Amino acid sequence: MQKVFQNKYLVYSFIFLLLALLISVRWKEHHLFYDPFLNYFKGIFQNKPLPNYNVFLLIFNYLIRYSINSILSIGIIYLLFRDFKTLKLIIYLYVLLFLILLILLIVVLFLNNPDYNFPLFYIRRFIIQPVFLILFVPALYFQKMVK
């Protein structure tokens, strides 16, 4: 398997494929996942009450979406850096960050206060978008350059 990833064009092709899959998850989000907040956060939401939602179905769909985005992101990080120590650290970080975000999400949802709409917006954004990929790649690249 290691020899397969020696060809840099093949590696770039796999990275492109994984990025295309991340984009397709975002593009088809309305069809793939239950998320009543998709339309809610597209408008002016600061003082509006939250839409009706099924908390268990919402959390399950966020778990699935986060898992898909994480697997694709971890694949990209592996192809870019090809270091198993780094990969192990990144996997731990993805799991830990999801647990923290999930707890925060549940707390904010159960408080159901319009003052917490912005925190809900950003917590949800970190769960449903591959934001950690955007944060981890430059950090890992900088760390690699320093060594």
Amino acid 39: pLDDT:
77
Alpha-carbon gap, residue 136 to 132, rounded angstroms: 6
Predicted confidence (pLDDT) per residue in 91-142, tens digit: 999 999 999 999 999 999 998 777 778 898 899 999 999 999 999 999 999 9
pLDDT at residue 89 tops 90: yes
The structure's pTM equals 0.87
C-alpha to C-alpha distance for 93 and 2, rounded to whole angstroms:
25
pLDDT of residue 116: 79
Distance CA 58, CA 62 (A): 6
| High-pLDDT (> 90) share of the chain, % | 65
Predicted pLDDT at 3? 61
Residues with Cβ < 8 Å from 50, sequence gap 6 or more? 37, 40, 109, 112, 117, 120
Instruction: Give the C-alpha separation, 88 to 107, whole Å.
Output: 29
Burial of 104 (C-beta count, 10 Å sphere; 0-12/13-18/19+) = middle
pLDDT given at position 49: 73
Are 87 and 77 spatial neighbours (Cβ–Cβ below 8 Å)?
yes
